[in-house]
Amino acid sequence: MRGWLAVILLALLSACAGSRVSETLPRGAAAYQMMPAASSDQTVATYRISPLDVVDITVFGEPDLSVKAIQVDAAGELSLPLVGNVHAAGSTASELSRKLEGLFGAKYLKDPKVTTTVAKGASQKVAVQGEVAQPGVFELQGPTSLLEALSMAKGELRTAALDQVVVFRNINGQRMGAVFDVRAIREGKADDPQIVGNDMVVVGFSGARRLWRDVVSSASLFNVFRPVIP
């Protein structure tokens, strides 16, 4: 019996070690620096314009140059008076405003003031994979946090490693990842990070949890079918 328990303990430790995601991915404060906590103000400030978004461009004192409800085309371009095609996708509203001020000011206006507002965001999605009840791709309906994204996938499985939830995101053209502890978030010990369009959430697998579940199940069967010793 002791030998059997030793084998199980060794397997549990090995499975637990094997389930850890790469230590090269940031976690803790470094993870939140890369992917900040969800907040409505932050969402507006950091939202990046996507193809098919609808925007309003206001040039102060220049109604003929201001446009309402103009759609970013599939290539991420806007066609505007005087300056022609301007690449908008990937910029925040404030970044696009500064870009337009530079373009208008270079040839046409003296010290222009431009305000950009996203009137309607195009459909954006998040993929949730790994140890969740219903993996898939889900449409974001406004600002969304990590916990809300997991709820879209009907929550995590009992075999999930809750301290090994990875969010992958394209940042400055590079695919980056950060690790979050969902248990700590639910307990109020950590912030709930913001999820943005095209993120991928991967819930880690706890081999130890699955092995322990299988061991308990096997032990129950053993108890049921073991011979009765008189």
Domains of the chain: 20-43+124-205 (3.10.560.10), 51-120 (3.30.1950.10)
pLDDT of residue 12: 41
Residues 6+ apart with CB under 8 A from 124: 50, 139, 140, 196, 197, 198
**Cα–Cα distance, 116 to 59 (Å, whole number):** 9
Name residue, tokens 């709820």: 151
Distance CA 207, CA 18 (A): 7
DSSP strand pairing (125-130 vs 200-205):
parallel
- What pLDDT was estimated at residue 50? 84
Give tens-digit pLDDT for 215-229.
444 444 444 434 434
pLDDT computed for residue 39 by the predictor: 62
Q: Encoding tokens for residue 97?
A: 């405003």
**Residues above pLDDT 70, as percent of the chain:** 75
For 127-179, how does the pLDDT look when each residue is reduced to its tens digit (9 = 90+)? 999 999 999 999 887 678 999 999 999 999 988 999 999 999 988 778 899 99
Give yes or no for a contact between 112 and 103, defined as CB atoms under 8 angstroms apart.
Answer: no
User: Does residue 19 carry a pLDDT above 90?
Assistant: no
Where is 224: in which H helix or E strand?
helix 207-225
Res. 18: pLDDT tops 70: no
Q: What is the pLDDT of residue 57?
A: 96
At what angle are helices 207-225 and 2-18 packed, to 10 degrees?
150
- Reading the block at residue 114, the tokens are 């431009």
Rounded distance, CA 152 to CA 155, Å? 7
Q: SS3 of 54, please?
A: strand
pTM over 0.85: no
pLDDT in tens, 27-71: 889 989 888 887 645 555 567 888 888 999 999 999 999 999 999
List the beta bridge partners of residue 55.
70, 118
pLDDT at 124 exceeding the cut of 90: no
pLDDT at 11 over 70: no
Angle (nearest 5°) at CA 176 between 38 and 138: 55
